Amino acid sequence: MAIRTLTPAIAALAADVATVVRSDAPAIEVSRQVADTLTPFLAMPDLLDADQTRGRADCYTQHVLYVDPASRFSIVSLVWMPGQRTVIHDHVSWCVVGVYQGVEQETLYRLVDDGLEPAHLVRTGQSANLAAMTSFFAPPGDIHEVCNASDDTVISVHVYGADVSTLGTSIRRRYDLPVRTA
Ligand SMILES: [Fe+2]
């Protein structure tokens, strides 16, 4: 995945995130601080260039915007056309999501795999993440599914505590399990 351009705003965001990830704080605390760092950038009209807001008809699109030289974090934009969604998944690292345009729908799950009954998922929450909102999480307990349930293009900016340009994805595991109500 090539990083084609670095807008001045993304360069500034990357510099600010680098300052936060330098700390020895637990992953969840780092992600909380990165979320605070990301918030003001979501209001910048020139945060992304035209290429970085381009989607595809067949699947949601990931554009790698920046990778830390020491691979401590990476920044991507995700572009969702109407109806596009992820699989149910968890992540390789802590993650911060900021919605840049539109409304992103997120559903949270808990894995039940205690050997007493067949492994399954329980839906634990659902949220509509609006433009300028951020959320953050760190493994374990980070199973979710994201979709664009609207009629408009949705764009979000994600910061991961790993180099997703090398990994290709932020997904650690895909969960193809039945979903039950609690
Ligand atoms: Fe995710």
pLDDT of residue 98: 97
35, 134 in Cβ contact below 8 A? yes
Identify the band that residue 181 occupies on the pLDDT scale cut at 50, 70 and 90. confident
pLDDT band at 22 (very low <50, low <70, confident <90, very high): confident
Q: Is the pTM of this model over 0.85?
A: yes
Q: Report how far ligand 1's centroid is from the alpha carbon of 70 (Å).
A: 23
Element (H, E) at 57: none
User: Which residue in 61, 12, 79, 2 sits closest to 41, CA to CA?
Assistant: 12
State the Cα–Cα distance between residues 157 and 45, nearest whole angstrom.
13
Determine the distance separating the centroid of ligand 1 and the alpha carbon of 90, expressed in angstroms. Answer: 6
CA of 24 to the centre of ligand 1 (A): 24
The mean pLDDT of 98-119, rounded to a whole number, is 95
Expressed in angstroms and rounded, the spacing between residue 45 Cα and the centre of ligand 1 is 25
pLDDT (mean) for 4-23: 91
Q: Does residue 16 surpass a pLDDT of 80?
A: yes
pLDDT in tens, 109-155: 999 999 999 999 999 999 999 999 999 999 998 999 999 999 999 99
The CA 79 to ligand 1 mean position distance, Å, reads: 13
What 3-state class would DSSP assign to 2?
coil
158-171 per-residue burial string, b: 16 or more CB within 10 A, e: under 16: bbbbbbbbebeebe
**Distance in angstroms (rounded) separating the CA atoms of residues 162 and 75:** 9
- The alpha carbon of 4 and the centre of ligand 1 are apart by a number of angstroms equal to 24
Distance CA 110, CA 35 (A): 23
Mean confidence (pLDDT) of the chain:
93
Residue 160 Cα, ligand 1 centroid: separation in angstroms?
Answer: 10
| pLDDT at 2 > cutoff 60 | no
pLDDT band for position 1 (cuts 50, 70, 90): very low
Contact indicator for 147, 91 with CB cutoff of 8 Å = no
The rounded Å distance from CA 16 to ligand 1 centre is 23
Closest CA to 158 of 41, 27, 5, 2: 41
The rounded Å distance from CA 92 to ligand 1 centre is 10
